């Protein structure tokens, strides 16, 4: 195979122009929610390789907002910063915003101490009920957002002030909804897998990318006057990918790590539930009897090792439970290893 | 050296019963037991009359269990004896990983069972004997 350079000046120039177009796309996105240069934007999405952070950061700068690149986590500091900087707009996962609300009392900060008026919520599926709850609790407007790192990140589709699902920027993407079994393109309004073609990328074109996200498109226009078709909420996935506090996790990533550890037997379970507003991931493993030495210190070291290995791989530190050999449910044929107890509201 | 059987047990109702049932079926006599609690699980430590048979009985049903060497010391049940015992270990910088004690009737024989780091085990035995205590061998412990 010929030696293809991973990066060169030509690619860089192409990518720079792409980034400018992306900034414009995100400017349109943010302006569509009624946010302006007078807003203070606290970006609580993780910066780094996850596009949620840097993605909207540049768009918000382009709008002229004051951007606080605080990133994810550290709830106490988030709340204090919202108060100190009189933040008016946050970009956040819906579950984390609920969590922040539940922690405000503890920190002695109430709604009137904050200047918050809008939230861009995304990176995880949520229902209309969750949006209403957030809006009522915090007296704000919350706008749904859709994007994926493979196709430039947040702002592929975004709600406008009308909050009637998300405008998909059809000047940047060709959107199709297909039957994921047959590949047949479905009519607007029919639910299927969203397939996207990117029109703005030059260095890495992406043609008919199968997102694995299930949704449908609204054919009719919107009260705001924009004519791009709107994308429904994401209704599910065609694969087994899990979204845990906004982070995408495949069960196979977890399996790969824990099966490398000799003290763990072959049966395991991935269990997800809610602790307060946040998702909680628990990995249950059976200990391997032949390597059991009867020492608590060794068992706790094993627990920590599993937690650290998984955190390094999937960025989430799970709760690790150690179980007796043969105690986790065994299934005939394909094991059902994922138990998702999060309420489907 | 005395042996202790350690069994990994999940912390929920019925788990102890399934273990005791299995030991009972195998005709094992329990001299003493204690549980080290770790929240979602615990370690059940047992002193039994036939440690090897008990180990095999539990391993046969797939339990995670282990036989460990412990230092079992006979300490007459009188005020100050435990202090004397602990002082002897302290003066020689011997660390006890884990310990429990019980008194066997009718002779008021106190027994102190200790888990000690392997490299320090021989020295611990020496120190205890030098302090005037008896270290119990397997048969002595179960025959008390």
Domain CATH code at residue B137: 3.30.70.260
The pLDDT-based confidence of B7 (bands split at 50, 70, 90) is very high
**In this structure, are B50 and B95 located in the same domain?**
no
Indicate if B134 and B73 belong to the same structural domain.
yes
Q: Report the pLDDT averaged over residues A37-41.
A: 97
CB contact under 8 A, B8 and A296: no
The answer on B18 and B45 residing in a single domain is yes
- Residue A79 and residue A104 in contact, taking contact as beta carbons nearer than 8 Å: yes
Contact B114, B47 (CB under 8 A): no
Residue owning tokens 């707009």: A89
Is A293's CB within 8 Å of B65's CB?
no
| Distance separating alpha carbons of residues A187 and A184, to the nearest angstrom | 10
Domain count, chain B: 2
- Pick the last residue of a domain from B18, B51, B68: B68
Tokens in use for B40?
């979602």
Q: Which residues contact A137 (CB under 8 A, 6 or more apart)?
A: A98, A101
The residue whose two tokens read 């059809």 is: A170
Residues B15, B35, single domain; the answer is: yes
Mean pLDDT of A287-315: 93
Confidence of residue B137 (pLDDT cuts 50, 70, 90): confident
Same domain, B15 and B42: yes
Crossing angle of helices A128-138 and A94-104, in 10° steps, is 30
Q: What is the pLDDT of residues B101-120, one digit of tens each?
A: 988 877 788 899 999 988 99
Do B50 and B81 have their domain in common? no
At A52-94, the pLDDT tens digits run 888 899 999 999 999 999 998 899 999 999 999 999 999 999 9
Mean pLDDT of all residues in chain B? Answer: 91
Same domain, B97 and B124: yes
**Pair B62, B21 in one domain:** yes
Q: What is the pLDDT of residues A316-344, one digit of tens each?
A: 999 999 999 988 887 655 557 899 999 87
Q: Name the more confident of B24 and A256.
A: B24
Q: Are A64 and A91 in contact (CB under 8 A)?
A: no
pLDDT of B55 higher than 70: yes
Q: Which domain holds residue B23?
A: 2-68
A329 interaction partners in chain B (CB closer than 8 Å): none
- Among A288, A293, A321, select the one facing B40 at the smallest CB separation: A321
The CATH 3.30.300.30 domain(s) of chain A lie at: 247-340
B6·A294 Cβ contact <8 A: yes
Element spanning B23, H or E = helix B15-25
> Domain end: B40, B68, B96, which one?
B68
- SS3 of chain A: the string is CCCCCCCCHHHHHHHHHHHHHHHHHHHHHHHCCCCCCCCEEEECCCCCCCHHHHHHHHHHHHHCCEEECCCCCCHHHHHHHHHHCCCCEEEECHHHHHHHHHHHCCCCCCHHHCCCCEEEECCCCCCHHHHHHHHHHHCCEEEEEEEEHHHCEEEEEEECCCCCCEEECCCCEEEEEECCCCCCECCCCCCEEEEEEECCCCCCCCCCEEEEEEECEECCCCCCCCCCCEECCCCEECCCCEEECCEEECHHHHHHHHCCCCCEEEEEEEEEEEECCEEEEEEEEEECHHHCCCCHHHHHHHHHHHHHHHHHHHCCCCEEEEECCCCCCCCCCCCCCEEECCCCC
CATH assignment of the domain containing B35: 3.30.2130.10
B138 and B80 co-located in one domain: yes
Cis peptide leading into B106, omega within 30 of 0? Answer: yes
Indicate whether B17 and B64 sit together in one domain. yes
Shortest Cα distance, chain A CAs vs residue B64, angstroms: 4
* Residues B32, B56 within the same domain: yes
Q: How far apart are CA B2 and CA B135, in angstroms?
A: 9
Asked if residue A202 has pLDDT above 80, the reply is no
CA-to-CA distance for A191 and A193, rounded, in angstroms?
Answer: 7
According to DSSP, the β-strands at A166-168 and A173-178 are: unpaired
* Positions of CATH 3.40.50.12780 in chain A: 9-239
- Chain A residues near residue B34 by CB distance under 8 angstroms: none
A307: chain B residues, CB-CB within 8 Å? none
Asked if the ipTM is above 0.95, the reply is no
Instruction: Place domain A9-239 in its CATH homologous superfamily.
Output: ANL, N-terminal domain (3.40.50.12780)
Rounded mean pLDDT of A281-290?
93
pLDDT in tens, A104-155: 988 899 999 999 999 999 888 888 888 999 999 999 999 999 999 888 888 8
What is the DSSP pairing of strand B134-136 with strand B65-76?
antiparallel
pTM tops 0.80: no
User: What are the tens digits of pLDDT across the range A143-168?
Assistant: 999 999 888 888 899 999 999 999 99
How far from each other are the two terminal CA atoms of chain B, in whole angstroms? 15
Q: Is CATH 3.30.300.30 what the domain over A247-340 is classified as, yes or no?
A: yes
Rank A12-16, A200-204, A211-215 by mean pLDDT and report only the highest: A211-215
Q: Is B50 helix (H, G, I), strand (E, B) or coil?
A: coil
B78 and B135 both lie in a single domain:
yes
What pLDDT shows up at residue A4? 59
Which pLDDT band, with edges at 50, 70 and 90, does A35 fall under? very high
Pick from A300, A321, A324: which is nearest to B8 by CB?
Answer: A324
Average pLDDT over residues B87-97: 94
Please name the residues between 56 and 75 in chain B that touch chain A, using a CB distance below 8 Å: 59, 62-68
Domain boundary among B68, B92, B116: B68
């Amino acid at each position: 195979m010929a030696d293809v350079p991973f990066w060169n000046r030509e690619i860089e120039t192409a990518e720079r122009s792409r980034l400018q177009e992306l900034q414009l796309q995100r400017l349109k996105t943010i302006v569509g929610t009624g946010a302006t240069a007078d807003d203070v934007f606290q970006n609580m999405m993780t910066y780094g390789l996850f596009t949620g952070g840097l993605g909207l950061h540049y768009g918000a700068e382009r709008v002229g907002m004051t951007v606080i690149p605080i990133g994810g986590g550290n709830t106490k500091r988030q709340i204090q910063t919202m108060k100190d900087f009189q933040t008016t707009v946050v970009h956040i996962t819906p579950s984390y915003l609920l969590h922040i609300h539940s922690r405000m009392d503890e920190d002695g900060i109430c709604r009137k101490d904050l200047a918050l008026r809008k939230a861009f919520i995304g990176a995880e599926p949520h229902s209309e009920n969750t949006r209403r709850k957030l809006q009522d609790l915090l007296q704000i407007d919350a706008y749904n957002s859709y994007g994926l790192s493979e196709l430039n990140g947040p702002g592929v589709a975004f709600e406008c002030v009308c909050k009637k699902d998300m405008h998909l920027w059809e000047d940047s993407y060709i959107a199709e909804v297909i039957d994921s079994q047959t590949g047949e393109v479905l009519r607007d309004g029919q639910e299927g897998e969203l397939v996207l073609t990117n029109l703005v990328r030059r260095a890495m074109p992406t043609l008919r990318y199968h997102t694995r996200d299930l949704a449908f498109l609204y054919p009719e226009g919107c009260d705001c006057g924009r004519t791009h078709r709107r994308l429904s909420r994401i209704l599910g996935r065609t694969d087994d990918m899990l979204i845990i506090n906004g982070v995408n996790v495949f069960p196979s990533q977890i399996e790969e790590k824990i099966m490398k550890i000799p003290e763990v037997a072959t049966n395991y379970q991935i269990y997800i539930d809610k602790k307060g507003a946040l998702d909680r991931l628990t990995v249950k493993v059976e200990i391997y009897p032949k390597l059991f030495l009867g020492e608590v210190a060794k068992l706790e070291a094993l627990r920590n090792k599993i937690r650290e290995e998984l955190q390094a791989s999937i960025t989430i530190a799970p709760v690790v439970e150690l179980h007796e050999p043969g105690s986790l449910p065994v299934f005939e044929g394909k094991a059902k290893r994922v138990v998702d107890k999060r309420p489907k509201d | 050296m005395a042996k202790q059987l350690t069994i990994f047990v999940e912390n929920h109702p019925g788990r102890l019963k399934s273990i005791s049932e299995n030991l009972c079926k195998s005709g094992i006599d329990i001299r003493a037991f204690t549980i080290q609690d770790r929240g979602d699980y615990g370690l059940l430590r047992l002193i039994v009359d036939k440690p090897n048979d008990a180990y095999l009985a539990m391993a046969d049903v797939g339990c995670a269990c282990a036989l460990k060497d412990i230092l079992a010391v006979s300490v007459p049940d009188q005020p100050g004896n435990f202090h004397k015992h602990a002082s002897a270990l302290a003066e020689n910088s011997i660390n006890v990983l884990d310990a429990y004690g019980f008194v066997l009737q009718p002779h008021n024989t106190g027994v102190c069972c200790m888990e000690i780091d392997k490299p320090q085990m021989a020295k611990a035995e020496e120190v205890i004997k030098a302090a005037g205590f008896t270290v119990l061998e397997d048969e002595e412990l179960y025959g008390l």
